[in-house]
């Protein structure tokens, strides 16, 4: 239902007329996020300046029963910030101040609209480190990262966004403002409410401020690149490294299709006939890094790596990382539509899952490149297709169903780091089961009884 | 080339997966934080127009005009979106669907369809302008307030108008010049329009540097405009005509390279293949032309530039990337490497070196406020480096930044990299390596 003139006038009074956008051109531009093939124009886009304005907008929306979809930079990959029909988009990019860094307690407090890379850059000024590094970190907001519980390349050693959230300020669906958690490492006072909102995808409350945990910045880093004739050999290299009590910060792999696309695009001299490429990095104290790098090299060789290159310096490390960094770019250029998935399995089932994806793609006559995080079992099967070709899209969906079933059969998850949003909603019950799915629904109803915050995401 | 968004190959629009990686690279998104002023936002608007879901409205036209066309988004884009083609098509569509005001139409007719299609006429206009500037008329009209009689657009522009050079390229460079020693390459030198009228000395420097590197240099005395001005502003027809004329003038079959020394021109010059793809008489030659087209820095680096034997004394230089050189032509490392060849020259990196200076073709005329804001930001960074010289290699950037530095009271000199190289070669010894 379109907003009435008086509702729009009220919004303009709350945030200032220039921060309420209603022209068709603006609504088109906020009608999508980073997810392929999902589009819906909102009724209005509102850009509040602070928590009080967010709360006031939510109260107004609640009074009139208008759905609210919260958004940061709109880089999500599961449709989490795609507007629902009849909704107002609350875009929080104006709330972009870093409020405080506390080097004694190793924390950083920031408004939700701060760009993730700026959080780490500020930490670096104090010799500190904010490890989560989702692929969009130069664009995405920290509020969006917390709402999606974003991952990144450093999952095995450093964990994900959740592991760095100590406290949150949240605007509830009725407009109340609550502060959850604090700077204490130990805090068992009541339910761990902040954890409820991490990864809630804007369906339970609107995160307006975050208190983050920082760690000391590692002093040294060593990068190496190995190629293999079999994916299992790369996977065994990773298991052996972990069994040798080494926790590398990066263990990234590319499959054969992806290697071929990278080579077509970047021409960096990768062997096209190898089945796997493994980028490994260890960081920490310089002496430990040297020792670990040497042992990782030995393990890679022992596990049958065809070639292992160790970077002598930062420049060479950057060159070695080129293959992994350009993986998605290389794939995205092949066909008009790129669908990036993120099924995840326990680490020891990864090679099996990669093989299953390749077999499924071949059977459905589809081009799928797989790359991802071998250290944490997070895969990114990337479908190279054309959304205008209905027949091919039907095959894509059939293949996706099979891949999801296989991942679940291996004890995995439908999404490791992109979230459920709209794109994976249909598979959630299959993964978590009826009882757990019902519990999620009850929780949503308890906190947002009228279903006004990001309705239709995660759950119907 | 498509003349409307509907005619455009839809996969060019589809190539954008709206991941948002372009957002931090875009100066207009940086200024407004509005999606519609971002590359992916603009592409979404274009796609909505192509899908028939959005009209070519005033807001659409304004947004396409607000885009600098700096192409920083193309560098940031992981999916290889051809934004240059998209924005040019969108602007052509705006021009077709929303005819400009009569006065703007007159200006377009006079400039794009008049002066910039007729190189001799353009030079005559240049001579008249010089007469006005140097004959005391400009000073007199400013003193008497006569300039207030000019239309508002012109009045604003009048103080920005660059000084016209006393002699143009054809008076400084012979049609064919040979290097002193062995001829290693045969190249053509494109002298440009603004470059010819204002920076003809830079063209002379370019020829000297080519000669010093064993190139026979062919420089036809009368050269048509490359058509980039037209293509960037939606005038596709004249752009195609100019491309054909230039190919006829400098047959690519007979040359090792066609050398451009202006970033903006060069980027357009190497896309003739796309521009003339549906012209059966020219499509193939246009593709050959593209394969021979080189930016001067790129050509020198590729063929192994000879390090000058002499320097220019101790000199600290910082380098500003012209957008279309860096983002369009991907020539980033080469100008820096060439500067480092000059003995005694210390190169310091400029923060945000590849962020647009606000010149952007005719942007300083169409969007003066945003253009000024970008210029102030650029000048601030340049001054903070403490360099003696700012080097950059595009006439638009040169004029804009020189004006900004002067307004800020800075004494930093603006010298193009090829001029610095030419001066270093000249400092080598008594006789220049040229037989004229």
For the stretch B409-435, pLDDT in tens is 999 999 999 999 999 999 997 444 443
Is B98's pLDDT higher than 90?
Answer: no
In a domain, A444, yes or no: no
- Sorted by where each begins, the domain ranges of chain B are 10-97, 105-160, 169-302, 307-426
Please name the member of B24, B55, B80 whose beta carbon is closest to the beta carbon of A333: B80
CA gap A323, A307 in Å, rounded: 15
- For residue B45, which residues of chain A lie inside 8 Å, CB to CB? 25, 28-29
CB-based contact, B128 to chain A, within 8 Å: no
Provide the shortest C-alpha distance from residue B30 to chain A (in Å): 11
- The pLDDT value recorded for residue B3 is 75
Comparing B108 with A23, the larger pLDDT belongs to: A23
A458 φψ region: left (φ > 0), alpha (ψ -120 to 50), beta (else) = left
Provide the shortest C-alpha distance from residue A413 to chain B (in Å): 23
Contact A30 B35 (CB under 8 A): yes
Domain holding A163, by residue range, is 98-216
* CATH number (domain holding residue A27): 3.30.43.10
- For residue A333, which residues of chain B lie inside 8 Å, CB to CB? 15, 79-80
User: Choosing among B64, B78, B94, which should be mutated to test the A contact, i.e. which has the most A CBs within 10 A?
Assistant: B78
Domain-ending residue, one of A91, A108, A125: A91
- The pLDDT value recorded for residue A100 is 98
Q: Which residue in this structure is represented by tokens 């071949």?
A: A362
Domain B10-97 sits in which CATH superfamily? Alpha-helical ferredoxin (1.10.1060.10)
Within 13 Å of residue A342, how many CA atoms lie on the same side as its CB?
22
Write out pLDDT tens, residues B43-96: 999 999 999 999 999 999 999 999 999 999 999 998 899 999 999 999 999 989
- The pLDDT value recorded for residue B430 is 46
Domain-ending residue, one of A216, A239, A260: A216
CATH class in words for B169-302: mainly alpha
Contact B18 A115 (CB under 8 A): no
Q: Are residues A271 and A288 in the same domain?
A: yes
Q: Are residues A317 and A287 in the same domain?
A: yes
Q: In 10 A of CB B383, how many CB atoms?
A: 17
Write out pLDDT tens, residues B192-210: 988 899 999 999 999 999 9
- The pLDDT value recorded for residue A424 is 96
User: pLDDT of chain A along its 460 residues, tens only?
Assistant: 789 999 999 999 999 999 999 999 999 999 999 998 899 999 999 999 999 999 999 999 999 999 999 999 999 999 999 999 999 999 999 999 999 999 999 999 999 999 999 999 999 999 999 999 998 999 999 999 999 999 998 999 999 999 999 999 999 999 999 999 999 999 999 999 999 999 999 999 999 999 999 999 999 999 999 999 999 899 999 999 999 999 999 999 999 999 999 888 878 888 888 999 999 999 999 999 999 999 999 999 999 999 999 998 888 888 888 888 888 888 988 998 999 999 999 988 998 999 999 999 999 999 999 999 999 999 999 999 998 999 999 999 999 999 999 999 999 999 999 999 999 999 999 999 999 999 999 999 999 999 999 999 999 9
- The pLDDT value recorded for residue A318 is 85
- For residue B21, which residues of chain A lie inside 8 Å, CB to CB? 136, 138-139
- The pLDDT value recorded for residue B377 is 97
Once rounded to an integer, what is the mean pLDDT over residues B218-234? 90
Total tally of structural domains belonging to chain A: 4
In a domain, A436, yes or no: no
Is B155's pLDDT higher than 80?
Answer: no
Q: Which residue in this structure is represented by tokens 């509102």?
A: A46
CA gap B68, B322 in Å, rounded: 13
Contact B14 A387 (CB under 8 A): yes
In a domain, A279, yes or no: yes
Look at residues A86, A78, A126 and name the one whose alpha carbon lies nearest to residue A106: A126
- The pLDDT value recorded for residue A324 is 85
- The pLDDT value recorded for residue B146 is 63
- The pLDDT value recorded for residue B150 is 61
Please name the member of A21, A32, A138 whose beta carbon is closest to the beta carbon of B18: A32
- The pLDDT value recorded for residue B218 is 97
Please name the member of B14, B48, B59 whose beta carbon is closest to the beta carbon of A23: B59
Please name the member of B19, B33, B45 whose beta carbon is closest to the beta carbon of A75: B19
- The pLDDT value recorded for residue B157 is 60
CA gap A197, A177 in Å, rounded: 13
- The pLDDT value recorded for residue B434 is 43
Once rounded to an integer, what is the mean pLDDT over residues B357-362? 88
* CATH number (domain holding residue A268): 3.30.70.2190
Q: Is A239 exposed, middle or buried (0-12, 13-18, 19+ CB in 10 A)?
A: middle
Percent of chain B at pLDDT > 70 equals 92
pTM: 0.92
Provide the shortest C-alpha distance from residue B38 to chain A (in Å): 9
Percent of chain B at pLDDT > 90 equals 71
- Residue B1's pLDDT band, with cuts at 50, 70 and 90, is low
**Architecture of the domain made up of B307-426:** 3-Layer(aba) Sandwich (3.40)
Is B156's pLDDT higher than 70?
Answer: no
- Residue B160's pLDDT band, with cuts at 50, 70 and 90, is low
Domain-ending residue, one of A216, A238, A263: A216
- The pLDDT value recorded for residue B106 is 81
In sequence order, what are the residues at sequence separation of 6 or more whose Cβ sits closer than 8 angstroms to the Cβ of residue B268?
A: B226, B227, B228, B231, B232, B324
Please name the member of A21, A28, A47 whose beta carbon is closest to the beta carbon of B45: A28
Q: Are residues A207 and A130 in the same domain?
A: yes
* CATH number (domain holding residue A183): 3.30.465.10
- The pLDDT value recorded for residue A349 is 92
In sequence order, what are the residues at sequence separation of 6 or more whose Cβ sits closer than 8 angstroms to the Cβ of residue A22?
A: A3, A8, A43, A44, A45
Q: Are residues A224 and A321 in the same domain?
A: yes
- The pLDDT value recorded for residue A271 is 86
Is B243's pLDDT higher than 50?
Answer: yes
Q: Are residues A26 and A127 in the same domain?
A: no
The whole-angstrom distance between residue B113's C-alpha and the CA centroid of its chain comes to: 19
In a domain, A433, yes or no: no
In a domain, A460, yes or no: no
- The pLDDT value recorded for residue B433 is 46
Q: Are residues A133 and A166 in the same domain?
A: yes
Residue of B nearest to A118 (CA): B24
Contact B34 A388 (CB under 8 A): no
């Amino acid at each position: 239902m379109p907003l009435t003139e008086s509702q729009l006038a009220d919004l303009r009074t709350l945030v200032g007329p220039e921060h309420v956008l209603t022209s068709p051109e603006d609504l088109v531009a906020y009608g999508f996020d980073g997810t392929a093939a999902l589009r819906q124009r909102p009724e209005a886009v509102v850009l509040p300046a602070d928590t009080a304005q967010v709360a006031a907008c939510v109260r107004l929306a609640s009074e009139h029963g208008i759905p609210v979809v919260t958004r940061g930079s709109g880089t999500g990959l599961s449709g989490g910030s795609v507007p629902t029909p009849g909704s107002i988009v609350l875009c929080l990019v104006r709330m972009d101040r870093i409020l405080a860094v506390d080097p004694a307690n190793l924390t950083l407090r920031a408004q939700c609209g701060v760009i993730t890379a700026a959080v780490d850059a500020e930490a670096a000024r104090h010799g500190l480190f904010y490890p989560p590094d989702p692929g969009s970190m130069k664009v995405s907001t920290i509020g969006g990262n917390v709402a999606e519980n974003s991952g990144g390349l450093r999952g095995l050693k450093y964990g994900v966004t959740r592991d760095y959230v100590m406290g949150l300020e949240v605007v509830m669906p009725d407009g109340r403002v609550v502060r959850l958690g604090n700077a204490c490492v130990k805090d068992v006072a009541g339910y761990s409410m902040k954890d409820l909102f991490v990864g809630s995808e804007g369906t339970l409350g609107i995160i307006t401020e975050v208190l983050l945990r920082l760690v000391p910045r590692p002093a040294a880093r060593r990068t190496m690149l190995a190629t293999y004739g079999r994916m299992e050999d790369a996977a065994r290299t990773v298991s052996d490294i972990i069994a040798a009590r080494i926790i590398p910060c990066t263990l990234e792999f590319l499959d054969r299709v992806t290697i071929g696309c990278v080579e077509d695009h970047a021409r960096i001299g990768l062997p096209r006939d190898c089945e796997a490429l493994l980028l490994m990095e260890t960081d920490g104290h310089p002496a430990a890094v040297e020792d670990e790098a040497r042992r990782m090299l030995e393990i890679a060789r022992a596990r049958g790596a065809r070639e292992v290159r160790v970077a002598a310096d930062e420049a060479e490390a950057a060159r070695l990382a080129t293959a992994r960094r350009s993986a998605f770019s290389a794939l995205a250029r092949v066909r008009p539509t790129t669908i990036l998935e993120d099924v995840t399995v326990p680490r020891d089932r990864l090679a099996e899952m990669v093989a299953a994806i390749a077999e499924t793609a071949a059977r459905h006559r589809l081009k799928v490149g797989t790359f991802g995080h071998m250290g944490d079992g997070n895969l990114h099967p990337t479908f190279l297709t054309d959304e205008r070709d209905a027949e091919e899209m039907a095959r894509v969906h059939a293949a996706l169903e099979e891949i999801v079933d296989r991942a679940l059969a291996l004890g995995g998850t439908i999404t490791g780091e992109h979230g459920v949003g709209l794109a994976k909603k249909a598979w959630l019950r299959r993964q978590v089961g009826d009882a757990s799915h019902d519990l999620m629904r009850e929780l949503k109803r308890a906190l947002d009884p009228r279903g006004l915050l990001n309705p239709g995401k995660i759950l119907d | 080339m498509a003349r409307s968004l509907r005619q455009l190959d839809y996969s060019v629009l589809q190539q954008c997966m709206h991941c948002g990686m372009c957002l931090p690279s875009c100066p207009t998104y940086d200024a407004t934080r509005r999606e519609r002023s971002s590359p992916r936002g603009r592409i979404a608007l274009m796609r909505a127009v192509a899908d028939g879901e959005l009209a070519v409205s005033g807001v659409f036209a304004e947004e396409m005009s607000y885009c600098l066309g700096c192409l920083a988004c193309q560098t940031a884009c992981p999916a290889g979106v051809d934004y240059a083609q998209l924005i040019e098509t969108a602007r052509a569509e705006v021009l077709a669907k929303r005819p400009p005001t009569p006065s703007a139409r007159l200006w377009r007719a006079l400039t794009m369809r008049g002066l910039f299609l007729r190189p001799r006429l353009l030079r005559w206009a240049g001579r008249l302008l010089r007469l006005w500037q140097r004959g005391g008329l400009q000073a007199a009209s400013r003193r008497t307030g006569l300039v207030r009689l000019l239309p508002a657009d012109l009045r604003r522009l009048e103080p920005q108008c660059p000084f016209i050079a006393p002699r143009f390229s054809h008076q400084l460079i012979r049609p064919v010049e040979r290097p002193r020693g062995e001829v290693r390459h045969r190249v053509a030198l494109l002298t440009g329009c603004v470059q010819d009228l204002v920076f003809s000395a830079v063209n002379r420097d370019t020829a000297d540097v080519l000669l010093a590197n064993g190139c026979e240099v062919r420089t036809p005395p009368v050269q048509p405009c490359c058509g980039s001005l037209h293509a960037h502003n939606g005038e596709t027809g004249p752009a195609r005509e100019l491309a054909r004329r230039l190919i006829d003038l400098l047959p690519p079959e007979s040359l090792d390279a066609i050398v451009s020394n202006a970033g903006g021109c060069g980027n357009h010059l190497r896309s003739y293949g796309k521009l003339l793809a549906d012209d059966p008489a020219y499509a193939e030659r246009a593709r050959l032309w593209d394969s021979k087209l080189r930016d001067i820095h790129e050509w020198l680096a590729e063929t192994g530039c000879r390090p000058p034997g002499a320097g220019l004394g101790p000199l600290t230089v910082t380098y500003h990337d012209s957008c279309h050189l860096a983002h369009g032509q991907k020539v980033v490392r080469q100008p820096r490497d060439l500067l480092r060849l000059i003995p005694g020259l210390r190169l310091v990196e400029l923060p945000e070196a590849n962020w647009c200076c606000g010149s952007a073709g005719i942007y300083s005329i169409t969007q003066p406020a945003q253009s000024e804001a970008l210029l102030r930001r650029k000048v601030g960074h340049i001054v903070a480096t403490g360099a003696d010289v700012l080097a950059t290699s595009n006439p638009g950037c040169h004029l804009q930044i020189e004006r900004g530095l002067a307004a800020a009271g800075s004494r930093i000199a603006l010298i193009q990299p090829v001029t610095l190289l030419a001066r270093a070669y000249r400092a080598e010894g008594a006789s220049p390596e040229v037989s004229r």
